[in-house]
Chain A
């Protein structure tokens, strides 16, 4: 199956060069020159992965992320020229699954896309359904229920929850989660984990400000508990 990648980028030269490079990986590449363009045609294009440039004219990349997130679970990689904490966290809060910094080497970009696709496929490595307090996780169906009601998680959030639930009650370091969920080595960005945990909490915790299930262990990482 050929992976369909949508690149949303206003700079035509970048768009073309990236398309060439990604096509060399054997993937098919769709292009949008603005956020409006991408959102209008998203359903007909139906991509497997979206690359969003943050510095778009018109509606910016953060807004595009938010709009896409409302409509779809599609993995989003944010492409940013600024890797300041503010921009990175804002992009992740807006719903991006991962981010890369310009100028990204096509090899690295492919590795990121592959990591996202890999985990979408292998998310159900532990197939057994499990109960964690008022949460019911069914990896096989990619479903989480809280008090019997379905909770909608993105694939990354779901994978994160599965990873935590695989080792229930055990503290997992951010490095470990970065490796298991995002496929990063030691130098992955811990902010990815922090923001996703935050997003996960808003969905599975009754009171996200005082989490009961996804608990921070200061200086060590996170753990899931009933």
Chain B
């Protein structure tokens, strides 16, 4: 019992509502069928019994009056009696002789014969004769005047088959009605559960829309007081979240803006000094190089931070991008000697997205391999029906399985990276790879090389767009 309750609870709400309506309709219909059938049956039988009884007594009286005759001819008499709805009669005289047109004593139940002969009261019995239901009446008649017979018993058998078949049709009709009622119950259940669940569907749609970056999504106001509170609090939550996200994004953007202006002065000034490098002493040149490297690092950091803050909010540009062209251009720009392989299925493959962010994804993977994996040595593009897979491989120390998720977090670097000294990155490159890929509906992951060689394999998958 407890288990079945649990199983019921575990069913989806919609099914439970429909189930409840179906069950309710079935029970109601069944009760109605049973009551209606019972009452109809009772009243029909009663009517038949009453009319048959009246007929029986009338006939019995005729039989009784015939007893006055010297030699009553029962056969003739029985022929003259009216037969209501196929009733048949049989007469038993005191000497145990039976007279009938169509019945034999064997057709009567012995119990009925016995009880009739014992008393002077009319007896009734319902039983089955030749497999169809009948109603039998019996009465012992005492002749009022002296007669040839002392005791005469009169029996009548009334068929009930026709009532039975009427009742059968009635039962059939009632059951059909019950089935329809159950079906209507299922229908109402579906409709009601739809109505009940629609607000939930709306809310889940809205939540999904917000999750996809449309922060201005709100639920429509409703008049239903039960739902009103839910809608209001959902909208409040969405508004608070939107405000917070906008504020955060504006803050990051303001900070980056404030950082970018001084960087511009630094960048230009350093270039002016680089231009006059020969005028500087060796030591000053070294200091200038240090300054230059740090400014480059600072620039990258600000750019990455800004990109991350933007990827938290704003939508991305959507264009059809040829992945092969994109990868080739990115590899050309990186000016390193990398094997580039495009599978036949991936030739001319397109994705929907922002060309420059996708290039940044690939570039970050190349830079990551440069810093921590002795440089990328192979880039492959493969494609299935729906997905494009870009993989960057290196022959460095690889990424231990325990860190393969972790390294995509912001400001995180793997153990291998930490060993290589603090000077390099801030740990934002792979976070950006992850963010950008996710914003394009794809995934990024790190794995070992297929054939067990040393090295890491970074794979991004992107949804493939339709052909041009």
- Is A bound to B? yes
Residues of A in contact (CB 8 Å), total 29
User: Of all chain B residues, which has the CB nearest A190?
Assistant: B319
Q: Which of B257, B269, B314, B333 contacts A187 (CB 8 A)?
A: B333
B310 sits at the interface (CB 8 A): yes
Contact A81 to B268, CB < 8 A, known contacts A186-B325, A187-B333, A219-B320? no
User: Could you mark each residue 288-313 of chain B with 1 if its beta carbon is under 8 Å from any beta carbon of chain A, else 0?
Assistant: 00000000000100000000001000
B314 touching A85, Cβ below 8 Å? yes
Within 8 A of A (CB), among B259-273: 260-269, 271-272
CB <8 Å contact, B310 and A84: yes
Bound complex: CA of A85 vs CA of B310, how far in Å?
11
Chain A residues closer than 8 Å to B310, beta-carbon distance? 84
Contact call A107/B271, Cβ cutoff below 8 A? yes
Interface residues as binary, A1-19 with B (CB distance below 8 Å gives 1, 0 otherwise): 0000000000101100110
> Is A103 on the interface with B (CB-CB < 8 A)?
yes
Question: In the assembled complex, which residues on chain A have CB atoms less than 8 Å from the CB atom of B319?
Answer: 174, 190, 219
Which A195-220 residues have a C-beta within 8 angstroms of B? 219-220
Q: Which of B272, B320, B356 contacts A17 (CB 8 A)?
A: B272
User: Which residues of chain A are near B268, meaning CB under 8 Å?
Assistant: 14, 17-18, 20-21, 106
Question: B431-468 vs A: 1/0 string, CB under 8 Å?
Answer: 00000000000000000000000000000000000001
A149 at the interface (CB under 8 A from B): no
The CA of A106 and the CA of B262, in the complex, are separated in Å by 14
Residues of B within 8 A of A174 (CB): 319
**Roughly how many angstroms separate A187 CA and B317 CA in the complex, as a whole number?**
14
Do A102 and B264 contact each other (CB < 8 Å), given the known contacts A21-B272, A85-B314? yes
**Are the C-beta atoms of B272 and A20 separated by less than 8 Å?**
yes
Contact in complex: B272, A24 (CB < 8 Å): yes
**Smallest Cβ-Cβ distance to B352: which chain A residue:** A219
Among residues of B, the one whose C-beta sits closest to the C-beta of A24 is B275
* Residues of A with C-beta under 8 A to B356: 187, 189
**Residues of A with C-beta under 8 A to B314:** 84-85
Using known A-B contacts A17-B269, A20-B268, A20-B269, determine if residue A186 contacts B261 with beta carbons closer than 8 Å. Answer: no
A56 CB, min distance to chain B CBs, angstroms: 12
Q: Which residue of A lies closest to B273 (CB)?
A: A20
Q: Does B227 contact A (CB under 8 A)?
A: no
Q: If A84-B314, A190-B319 touch, does A17 touch B265 (CB 8 Å cutoff)?
A: yes
- Would you call A104 an interface residue if the criterion is a C-beta within 8 Å of the partner chain's C-beta atoms? yes
Quote the shortest CB–CB distance from B87 to chain A (angstroms): 91
Q: Is A55 an interface residue (CB 8 A)?
A: yes
B253 CB contacts on chain A under 8 angstroms: 82, 84
- In A1-47, the 8 Å CB interface with B consists of 11, 13-14, 17-18, 20-21, 24
Size bracket, chain B contacts: 20 to 34
Question: Is there contact, CB below 8 Å, between B261 and A82?
Answer: no
Q: Is the CB of A187 within 8 A of B359?
A: yes
A102-B329 in contact given A20-B269, A24-B272, A84-B310 (Cβ < 8 Å): no
> Given that A17-B272, A187-B359, A219-B320 are contacting pairs, would A82 and B257 also be in contact in the complex, using a CB cutoff of 8 Å?
yes
Q: Mark A95-112, 1 if CB is under 8 A from B, else 0.
A: 000000111111100000
Give the chain B neighbours of A166 by CB distance below 8 A: none
Q: Given A187-B333, A190-B355, does the pair A14, B271 have CB atoms closer than 8 Å? A: no
Inter-chain residue pair count (beta carbon < 8 A): 79
Whole-angstrom distance from the CB of A22 to the nearest CB of chain B?
9
A124 to B: closest C-beta gap in Å: 30
The residues of B that contact A11 with a CB separation of less than 8 Å are: 261, 265
Cα distance A36–B79 in the bound complex, in angstroms? 133
- CA A137 – CA B86 in complex, angstroms? 112
State whether A185 touches B320 (Cβ < 8 A): no
Residues in A whose Cβ lies below 8 Å from that of B299: 103
A-contact 0/1 string along B307-337, CB 8 Å cutoff: 0001000100101100001100100010000
B337-367 CB contact bits vs A (8 Å, 1 = yes)?
0000000000000000001100100000000
Query: Smallest distance from the beta carbon of A23 to chain B beta carbons, Å?
Result: 9
B271-A106 in contact (CB<8A):
yes
Smallest CB–CB gap between B277 and chain A, Å?
12
Tell me if A102 and B317 are in contact (CB < 8 A).
Answer: no
Residue of B nearest to A17 (CB): B268
Q: Taking CB as reference atom, which chain A residue is nearest B314?
A: A84
- Bound CA–CA A24/B253 (angstroms): 32
Give the CA-CA distance A55 to B256 in the complex, in Å: 14
CA distance A18 to B270 in the complex (A): 11
Neighbouring A residues of B260 by C-beta, 8 Å: 81, 101-103
A20, A107, A189, A220 — most chain B CB neighbours (10 Å)? A20
How far in angstroms is the closest Cβ of chain B from A180? Answer: 16
Q: State in angstroms the CA–CA spacing of A199 and B257 once bound together.
A: 29
Contacting residues, chain B, for A219 (C-beta < 8 A): 319-320, 468
Inter-subunit contact B355/A21 (CB<8 Å): no
Question: What residues of A have a CB within 8 angstroms of the CB of B257 in the complex?
Answer: 55, 81-82
Residues of chain B within 8 A (CB-CB) of A21 are 268, 271-272, 275
A103 in contact with B275 given A82-B253, A84-B314, A219-B468 (CB within 8 Å): no
Q: Mark A158-186, 1 if CB is under 8 A from B, else 0.
A: 00000000000000001000000000011
| Contact sample, A vs B, 18 pairs, CB 8 Å cutoff | A13-B262, A17-B265, A17-B269, A18-B268, A20-B269, A21-B268, A21-B272, A81-B260, A84-B253, A84-B314, A102-B260, A103-B260, A103-B264, A104-B267, A106-B268, A186-B329, A219-B468, A220-B468
Q: Which residues of A contact B (CB under 8 A)?
A: 11, 13-14, 17-18, 20-21, 24, 55, 81-82, 84-85, 101-107, 174, 185-187, 189-191, 219-220
**Other contacts beyond A17-B265, A81-B261, A185-B333: 14, CB < 8 A:** A13-B262, A18-B264, A18-B268, A24-B275, A81-B257, A82-B253, A85-B317, A103-B263, A103-B264, A103-B299, A104-B267, A190-B317, A191-B317, A220-B468
Q: Which 9 A-B pairs have the closest CB atoms?
A: A17-B268, A186-B329, A103-B263, A103-B264, A81-B257, A102-B260, A219-B320, A21-B268, A20-B272
